[in-house]
């Protein structure tokens, strides 16, 4: 695959992708190994959310990671693993070794009865085996669904049940900073509510005591003991499912976003190579967790498809101290560093002291993902981490898009602080107003839609295609609706403004307000609740909950209990930052909560509350303002 090297080449490619997308994408697709070539590059139907890329072709994504790379890069390091504890030894795993371990574990999966199409849940720490688990599933044609290991037993059970998974891959425990998390206990608790799971494979990591259920639970090291390290890859149709990844939306429970084999392979690798401008000898590090889409596309699949060296970090940025990220950059001489604004802001809060013993000279490119990066954080990151010399790629994309959609190409597209900048070739963003009119030209602001399909566009929401159509393809006819607001400035550069729906972005993680409300409402004393986001210095957005309770408990006690319920139902990442106990919620005459008012109050913006005369209970607004937690 050839990389774009100049701005004029970018514009040329963009033009081609607009005029003849099939030619554009097939030229890229030719660089992969296909077991059978496609009949048609693209069949697309926005109305029914039906997209077929490289129709009727056959492939296996792992063949394109291994067999395609091995002759040239067999001894090259594929994964560098940095453990939670810096005193523990890192692992350097070559492509050859990763291949062998993937094949061995693929055979172990088969021995446990896993076949093409079966769903396998991965609930693991950030260790090489997590990547091996994903790749082994892909090798045998099983559909993986990675669940971030910070989610609660209830959330894990929901995901297992939604996709009727047959197997869980997990560990005894996880190390995270100075904590040890008993993940196997969480799995045991979840499985009490799941009937589809036939087996659990447990990686030994923390060596803590766990419960092993005979006939259901097996140790990872025992499963691979007698397996061969040769395993032919399963034949996958282009549109066969590669993975499901659950993500929060504005309504209901998290939905299983489905990505298919060929399109995802082509798009994740193309975008990795071009956005980060990866060179053969570079060491690349993305700090995400494989539980999120960023970990899928830009720790595992994108880099490995390109034969890159990708770093996996088990720990957290603050352990054993706040220099950890910068120590790792120097230790491995990282060339491309990709992280989230929330991490930047958290580290920025510690000043420059933690950076003073680090050279960071190896860095060539720095990247940002997951939420809008504010100008202050942008400059701090650019000046102090990138030393003013590294291009900063602010990459906008989503679980549903599979790969980066709007971003500078490092060192090619001129940088503009806090702007994701320009769409990648093949991506046609449009800005629409509330009525669906396209707002052309510069200096316009509205909702962000994409009007032509790209190879890794969401294929469906698992088990409920109607939901996929309704969420993404019915707001605006003939377009994919992102849920984000955007502005095109006077230079034509795009600036993402954040969600326009009821999704809150907390530290780069998506949370549905309805999902958090449902969790709060599980407390027996809660009568009703309403959750909104508010600006938070470190997290980007914080969670503000207004709760009506019928209890004799004092406010502090009930607030603690509510936080515990949310931890239990969703996980610690969803716990409200602020809880205000109220006697009522502002409602319209039709009974709808007027969230606009709640958002303003939570944001400490008591002016311009707008028209409150249509409220059923206008007096409540004064009470809410008086009791606001600032």
* Closest alpha carbon to 200 in 218, 222, 173: 218
Judged by phi (left if over 0) then psi (alpha if -120 to 50, else beta), residue 418 lies in left
505 binds ligand WTA (CB under 6 A): yes
Burial of 250 from C-beta contacts in 10 A (0-12 / 13-18 / 19+):
middle
Binding letters toward ligand WTA, positions 204-243, x by CB under 6 A:
----------------------------------------
Burial of 89 from C-beta contacts in 10 A (0-12 / 13-18 / 19+):
exposed
Burial of 228 from C-beta contacts in 10 A (0-12 / 13-18 / 19+):
exposed
600 binds ligand WTA (CB under 6 A): no
Give the other-Cβ count within 10 Å of 33's Cβ: 12
B/e letters for 519-542, b = 16+ CB within 10 Å, e = fewer, are: bbbebeebebbbbbbbebebbbbb
Q: At its nearest, how many Å lie between ligand WTA and the CB of residue 161?
A: 22
Q: At its nearest, how many Å lie between ligand WTA and the CB of residue 105?
A: 27
Q: Which of residues 71-110 bind ligand WTA (CB under 6 A)?
A: none
Could you give the CA distance from residue 505 to residue 486 in angstroms, rounded to a whole number? 15
Our CB check for ligand WTA shows the closer of 102 and 368 to be: 368
> CB of 400 within 8 A of CB of 472?
yes
Q: Which of residues 287-316 bind ligand WTA (CB under 6 A)?
A: 292-294
Q: At its nearest, how many Å lie between ligand WTA and the CB of residue 378?
A: 11
> CB of 89 within 8 A of CB of 167?
no
Q: At its nearest, how many Å lie between ligand WTA and the CB of residue 411?
A: 18
Could you give the CA distance from residue 520 to residue 530 in angstroms, rounded to a whole number? 9
Q: At its nearest, how many Å lie between ligand WTA and the CB of residue 232?
A: 33
Could you give the CA distance from residue 45 to residue 178 in angstroms, rounded to a whole number? 50
CB under 6 A: which stretch of 170-178, 218-226, 368-376, 546-554 binds ligand WTA?
368-376
Q: At its nearest, how many Å lie between ligand WTA and the CB of residue 389?
A: 21
397 binds ligand WTA (CB under 6 A): yes
CA distances from 23 to 20, 142, 623 (A): 6, 31, 62
> CB of 585 within 8 A of CB of 546?
yes
Our CB check for ligand WTA shows the closer of 77 and 447 to be: 447
Could you give the CA distance from residue 554 to residue 541 in angstroms, rounded to a whole number? 28
Our CB check for ligand WTA shows the closer of 408 and 547 to be: 408
Strand residues in 211-315 grouped as ranges (E): 217-219, 236-237, 241-247, 255-260, 283-286, 309-313
Could you give the CA distance from residue 288 to residue 381 in angstroms, rounded to a whole number? 17
Our CB check for ligand WTA shows the closer of 41 and 245 to be: 245
Q: At its nearest, how many Å lie between ligand WTA and the CB of residue 22?
A: 27
CB under 6 A: which stretch of 83-91, 109-117, 396-404, 553-561 binds ligand WTA?
396-404
Our CB check for ligand WTA shows the closer of 64 and 247 to be: 247
Our CB check for ligand WTA shows the closer of 101 and 294 to be: 294
Our CB check for ligand WTA shows the closer of 372 and 455 to be: 372
Give the other-Cβ count within 10 Å of 515's Cβ: 25
Could you give the CA distance from residue 23 to residue 34 in angstroms, rounded to a whole number? 17
372 binds ligand WTA (CB under 6 A): yes
CB under 6 A: which stretch of 145-153, 209-217, 459-467, 496-504 binds ligand WTA?
496-504
* Closest alpha carbon to 265 in 222, 308, 311, 296: 296
DSSP bridge pairs for 593: 587
Could you give the CA distance from residue 549 to residue 526 in angstroms, rounded to a whole number? 4
Q: At its nearest, how many Å lie between ligand WTA and the CB of residue 501?
A: 9
Residue nearest to ligand WTA (CB): 399
398 binds ligand WTA (CB under 6 A): yes
Q: Which of residues 448-487 bind ligand WTA (CB under 6 A)?
A: 482-484
Q: Which of 162, 172, 188, 394 binds ligand WTA (CB under 6 A)?
A: 394
Binding-residue total with ligand WTA (CB under 6 A): 24
> CB of 547 within 8 A of CB of 125?
no
CB under 6 A: which stretch of 349-357, 365-373, 460-468, 593-601 binds ligand WTA?
365-373
Our CB check for ligand WTA shows the closer of 500 and 527 to be: 500
* Closest alpha carbon to 240 in 371, 377, 61: 61
Our CB check for ligand WTA shows the closer of 399 and 580 to be: 399
Q: Which of 79, 138, 420, 479 binds ligand WTA (CB under 6 A)?
A: 420
Name 117's Cβ contacts closer than 8 Å, sequence gap at least 6: 141, 142, 143, 240, 241
Q: At its nearest, how many Å lie between ligand WTA and the CB of residue 395?
A: 5
Q: At its nearest, how many Å lie between ligand WTA and the CB of residue 263?
A: 17
CB under 6 A: which stretch of 210-218, 269-277, 389-397, 584-592 binds ligand WTA?
389-397
Could you give the CA distance from residue 136 to residue 107 in angstroms, rounded to a whole number? 8
Could you give the CA distance from residue 366 to residue 394 in angstroms, rounded to a whole number? 9
Q: At its nearest, how many Å lie between ligand WTA and the CB of residue 6?
A: 24
Could you give the CA distance from residue 40 to residue 49 in angstroms, rounded to a whole number? 18
Our CB check for ligand WTA shows the closer of 83 and 372 to be: 372
Tokens describing residue 330: 């120097």
Burial of 615 from C-beta contacts in 10 A (0-12 / 13-18 / 19+):
middle
Our CB check for ligand WTA shows the closer of 21 and 372 to be: 372
Q: At its nearest, how many Å lie between ligand WTA and the CB of residue 490?
A: 20
Our CB check for ligand WTA shows the closer of 235 and 497 to be: 497
247 binds ligand WTA (CB under 6 A): yes
Our CB check for ligand WTA shows the closer of 210 and 479 to be: 479
Q: Which of 119, 324, 416, 510 binds ligand WTA (CB under 6 A)?
A: 510
Q: At its nearest, how many Å lie between ligand WTA and the CB of residue 332?
A: 24
CA distances from 480 to 48, 345, 446, 495, 619 (A): 11, 31, 14, 18, 41
Q: Which of 184, 205, 345, 499 binds ligand WTA (CB under 6 A)?
A: 499
Our CB check for ligand WTA shows the closer of 103 and 496 to be: 496
Helix 153-163 to helix 555-569 angle (10° resolution) is 30
Q: At its nearest, how many Å lie between ligand WTA and the CB of residue 482?
A: 6
Q: Which of 370, 386, 403, 455 binds ligand WTA (CB under 6 A)?
A: 370
Using CB under 6 A, list all residues that contact ligand WTA: 247, 292-294, 368-372, 394-399, 420, 482-484, 496, 498-499, 505, 510
């Amino acid at each position: 695959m050839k990389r774009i090297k100049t701005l004029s080449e970018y514009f040329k490619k963009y033009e081609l992708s607009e005029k003849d997308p099939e030619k554009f994408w097939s030229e890229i697709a030719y660089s992969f190994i296909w077991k059978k070539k496609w009949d048609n590059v693209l069949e697309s139907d926005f109305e029914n959310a039906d997209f077929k890329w490289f129709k009727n072709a056959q492939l296996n994504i792992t063949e394109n990671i291994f067999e395609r790379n091995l002759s040239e890069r067999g001894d090259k390091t594929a994964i560098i693993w940095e453990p939670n504890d810096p005193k523990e030894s890192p692992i350097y795993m070559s492509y050859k070794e990763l291949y062998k371990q993937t094949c061995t574990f693929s055979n172990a999966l088969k021995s446990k009865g896993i076949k093409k199409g079966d769903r396998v849940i991965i609930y693991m720490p950030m260790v090489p085996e997590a990547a091996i688990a994903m790749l082994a599933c892909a090798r045998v044609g099983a559909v993986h669904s990675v669940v971030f290991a910070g989610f609660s037993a209830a959330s894990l059970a929901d995901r297992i049940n939604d996709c009727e998974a047959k197997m869980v891959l997990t560990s005894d425990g996880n190390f995270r900073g100075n904590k040890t998390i008993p993940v196997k206990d969480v799995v045991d608790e979840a499985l009490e509510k799941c009937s589809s799971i036939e087996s659990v494979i447990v990686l030994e990591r923390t060596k803590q005591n766990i419960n092993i259920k005979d006939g259901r639970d097996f140790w990872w090291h025992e499963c691979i003991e007698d397996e061969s390290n040769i395993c032919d890859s399963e034949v996958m149709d282009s549109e066969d499912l590669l993975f499901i990844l659950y993500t929060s939306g504005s309504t209901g429970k998290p939905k299983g976003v489905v990505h298919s084999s060929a399109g995802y392979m082509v798009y994740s690798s193309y975008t990795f190579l071009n956005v980060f401008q990866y060179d053969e000898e570079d060491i690349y590090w993305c700090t995400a967790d494989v539980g999120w889409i960023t970990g899928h596309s830009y720790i595992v699949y994108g880099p490995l498809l390109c034969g890159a060296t990708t770093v996996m970090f088990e720990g957290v940025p603050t352990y054993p101290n706040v220099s950890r990220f910068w120590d790792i950059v120097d230790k491995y001489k990282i060339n491309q560093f990709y992280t989230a604004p929330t991490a930047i802001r958290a580290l920025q809060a510690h000043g420059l002291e933690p950076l003073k013993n680090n050279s960071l000279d190896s860095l060539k490119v720095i990247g940002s993902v997951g939420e809008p990066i504010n100008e202050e954080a942008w400059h701090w990151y650019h000046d102090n981490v990138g030393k003013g010399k590294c291009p900063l790629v602010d990459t906008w994309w989503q679980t549903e898009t599979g790969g980066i959609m709007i971003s500078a190409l490092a060192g090619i597209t001129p940088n503009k602080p806090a702007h994701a900048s320009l769409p990648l070739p093949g991506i046609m963003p449009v800005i629409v107003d509330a009525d669906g009119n396209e707002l052309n030209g510069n200096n316009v602001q509205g909702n962000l839609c994409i009007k032509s399909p790209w190879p890794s566009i969401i294929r469906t929401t698992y088990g409920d295609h109607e939901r996929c159509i309704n969420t993404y393809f019915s707001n605006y006819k003939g377009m994919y609706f992102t849920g984000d607001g955007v502005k095109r400035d006077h230079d034509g550069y795009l600036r993402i403004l954040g969600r326009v729906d009821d999704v809150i972005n907390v530290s780069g993680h998506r949370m549905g307000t309805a999902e958090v409300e449902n969790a709060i409402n599980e407390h027996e004393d809660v009568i009703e609740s309403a959750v909104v986001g508010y600006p938070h210095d470190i997290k980007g957005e914080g969670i503000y909950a207004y709760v009506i309770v019928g209890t004799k408990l004092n406010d502090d006690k009930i607030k603690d209990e509510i936080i515990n319920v949310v931890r239990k139902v969703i996980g610690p990442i969803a716990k409200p930052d602020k809880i205000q106990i109220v006697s009522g919620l502002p409602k319209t005459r039709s009974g709808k909560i007027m969230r606009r008012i709640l958002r303003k109050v939570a944001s400490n913006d008591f002016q311009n509350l707008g028209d409150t005369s249509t409220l059923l209970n206008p007096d409540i607004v004064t009470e809410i303002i008086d009791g606001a937690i600032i």
